[in-house]
Chains A and B, each alone.
Chain A
Amino acid sequence: MNHRPGRYRWRTAFAWLAILFLVASLPIGIALADAPPRRGFWLDLSAGLGLLGLGLLVVQALTSGRQNWVAPDFGADNLLHFHRRLGLLASLLILAHPIVMFTADPSYLRVLDPRDGWMAAAVLWTLVGSLFAILVSSFWRKALGLSYELWRLLHGGLALLIMALAVGHALAADHSLHAVPQRIALIVWMGLAIALIVNTRLYRPWSNRHRPWQVESVKPERGDAWTLTLRPIGHDGLRFEPGQYAWFTLADSPFAMQQHPFSLAGTARSAHLSFTAAVVGDFTAALAKVKPGARAWVEGPMGSFIPDPDRSIPLFMVAGGIGITPMMSMLRTFHAQGSRRKVDLVYANNELGDVTFLEELEILEQELNLRVIHVLREPPAGWPGESGLVDENLLDRCLPPPGQPTQYMVCGPEPLMDTVEAALRDRGVDWRRVYSERFEVI
């Protein structure tokens, strides 16, 4: 949360990677502590893969669930991306564990036969089925037509089931984890992971239950978007920095599975919160039907897409479409502070009619030290401004001279961000000064 732009600490990043290594390898360490009997290379390799799989499940619990003490060092979007990739790897390692074992000694195949002990067979088949289910539902959620809410419920349930069954299986298999202290250590270790999941899914919403919000207004915006303004009920609201985001639940209960991330678009340090969402899916389409007075819950703030607190550093912003919302929070906050900070904003849209906040930006341009460069893909006849896509030529015309201590902030659709990030890099911009926010995270 207190992440300072341009002051990224490599040491923090590497410390986290070392922690990841320790977290993932601890079950192997626990097994080694008692010098388990050797059973030959392939069977031991198989056991090692299983133990590593257990450790990676703990890493998965740590990298998901928006743990606030992990996310600020990496960015929640990076972390979720990592969680997905690691999830695939962990599943492959876990599945390699029985495959190596059955190949090394086919007699182990009997553990899958319910006639040879129905309980063990049921646990193993459920474990394999759950692993496939969690992979398929996560990587092909949209193709399967699963709603985000249903998927989230399923994902949490399957994750808990896999953890519990995996620990049970490791303890029952008994080869590498024989002594009582080791068994306790493994249970505690996996218990921590389960506690993290319970913390995200139950404890955090529960502790939020005395902090309800009420929808005050629902307003249509240009560009097929809606702005919702919320006010706190019986509490002092949320303190956030401009550019941060929060998770919103529009439901009577804080435990509702529906929870969506939106940039906080309003002035920081105002009692009210607002967010603006473009209609892209079921949830955003339903925002238009939300009635003032409806109950809402807010978890956050999150994110480190924040302007440098040093106001003498100019900002160069590039926004595409609804990616304007964090920039709006910054501009509105500067306006409230009477700040004269220099800001250039390149704002890309399809048509003039799509330009969310067009009129407000015109006013802000008069009242702040702000220059807005609209870029329209399909400009109206006689349009005097920039047209086409944001490309290197356009950036060359707008970018400040190299060497100037500017902070760059980029938010928009993936292709725009890729172009801008590459162009800035090619122009020798110090990458620690480039802040970008990707909102297509789930």
Chain B
Amino acid sequence: MKHRRLYKNVHRVAEALVLGLLIAVLLFALR
């Protein structure tokens, strides 16, 4: 059930999204 390579890639993208979320918080604070 595991596409490990894909998962690692998706995981990286997910981490980027988490970073995006933090930027969203920062924008909320800087609005």
Task: Give A contacts to B, CB under 8 Å.
Answer: 8, 13-14, 17, 20-21, 24-25, 28, 31-32, 38, 41-42, 44-45, 47-49, 51-52, 55-56, 74-78, 82, 86, 89, 303-305, 421, 425, 431-432, 434-438
Interface-central residue, B1, B5, B25, B30, by most chain A CB under 10 Å: B1
Do the beta carbons of B10 and A28 come within 8 Å of each other? no
Kindly report which residue of chain B lies nearest to residue A32, judged by CB atoms. B28
Task: Give B contacts to A, CB under 8 Å.
Answer: 1-7, 10-11, 13-14, 17-18, 20-22, 24-26, 28-31
Do the beta carbons of B2 and A435 come within 8 Å of each other? yes
Which B residues are in CB contact (< 8 Å) with A21? 17, 20-21
Which A residues are in CB contact (< 8 Å) with B14? 17, 20, 82
A-B contacts, 22 listed (Cβ < 8 Å): A14-B13, A17-B10, A17-B13, A20-B17, A21-B17, A24-B21, A38-B31, A44-B28, A47-B29, A48-B25, A49-B25, A51-B25, A52-B21, A52-B22, A75-B3, A76-B1, A82-B11, A89-B18, A421-B4, A431-B5, A431-B6, A434-B5
Which A residues are in CB contact (< 8 Å) with B4? 421, 431, 434, 436
Q: How long is the Cα–Cα vector from A47 to B29 in the complex, in angstroms?
A: 8
Interface-central residue, B3, B5, B7, B26, by most chain A CB under 10 Å: B3
Do the beta carbons of B25 and A28 come within 8 Å of each other? yes
Q: Shortest beta-carbon distance, A421 to chain B, in Å?
A: 6
Do the beta carbons of A438 and B28 come within 8 Å of each other? no
Specify which of A44, A48, A436 is in contact with B2 (CB 8 Å cutoff): A436
Kindly report which residue of chain B lies nearest to residue A436, judged by CB atoms. B2
Do the beta carbons of A48 and B6 come within 8 Å of each other? no
With contacts A17-B13, A48-B24 known, what are 6 further pairs, Cβ within 8 A?
A20-B14, A32-B28, A32-B31, A75-B2, A75-B3, A75-B7
